A and B are shown apart, each in its own frame.
Chain A
């Protein structure tokens, strides 16, 4: 994909979240006010462009070897300062670009092989079941 996920405002697009990612959000950010801040930040993903390293003001980078993407959002929370959100693009219908949110963790947590196993496992489930 070489264009923003919504190159034009009217283009149909989807931003979906898997259930374990929702559970990550609730576990990581028990306060609703902070979760709502993160949710608001994640709406910026509609302007995600693989050729730009920042979406509005959120930096992101692609992770190897899984090809998943990590995006960083700063929150006004007393406990978790910055959150790392994992997502990837998978569009079962090529006419409707779709991003999938896979989960979230603290930005200062290690993202090693165990975490890669978890998030790539979630992406495998999405590929097997999403339509």
Chain B
């Protein structure tokens, strides 16, 4: 834009620019440094944030995306955009910024490794004992022999529902394969409690009635020890 006449200066816009805070100026600078595609992403994220049906979780995701778009520096030690997922897992375990967390993380990894080893040993023993091949087991639980092999060689951790299917297929209790499964079952009941918060019509009526009931009249008398005070 070239301005030949001083009267053409957009003074309102200029005053608006002068009134913004240093943080807002930094935001605009970073935005202007982005490519056209990334600028379009930032605008679409603001549209998501302002949308009337947006949930708090969506807002969180949209803000995280904007922050990612505007902060261009790669993660330290990774040298490129994004993080190497496998490397980041090892780093989390060994180089957590809070040293107090490192033994907790190491213990969790140890626990998972033990669970997987126990599972693999037990399934192998049952297969041998019942003379069942990996192919037969795969057929019974509708997966591939390759998947069974990876689980039994501890390259891959089974999901809980896979353990349950295997237990049914092998005619054993799930805890015979994965002893910690009972703990998971109790956590499930907690999940059901969280998901089942909607009141039935009868419960809602009872609650309404309780709320609209006048407060109970309780007769009181002065405590002897406070008499005369």
Give me the interface of A with B, judged by CB distance under 8 Å: 14-20, 22-24, 27-28, 32-33, 36-37, 39-44, 47, 52, 54, 56-58, 73-74, 76-81, 100-101, 103, 105, 109, 114-115, 117-118, 121-122, 124-131
Residue of A nearest to B193 (CB): A78
Question: Cβ of B88 < 8 Å from any Cβ of A?
Answer: yes
A114 to B62, CA, bound (A): 10
Interface residues of B, count at CB 8 A: 58
Contact surface of B with A, Cβ cutoff 8 Å: 35, 37-38, 40-41, 44-45, 47-48, 51, 53-54, 57-58, 60-62, 64-65, 67-69, 72, 75, 80-86, 88-89, 101, 104-105, 108-109, 112, 143-144, 147, 150-151, 156-162, 183-184, 187-188, 190-191, 194
Residues of A within 8 A of B83 (CB): 16-19, 22
- Given the interface pairs A79-B190, A118-B45, A122-B65, the reply to whether A57 lies near B108 with Cβ below 8 Å is no
With a CB–CB cut-off of 8 A, which chain A residues contact B183?
76
Cβ of A118 and Cβ of B58 under 8 Å apart? Answer: yes
- Which chain A residues lie closer than 8 Å to B150 at the CB level? 47, 56
Residue of B nearest to A121 (CB): B41
Residues of chain B within 8 A of A28, CB atoms compared: 57
**Contacts A14-B84, A17-B83 hold; do A58 and B68 have CB atoms under 8 A apart?**
no
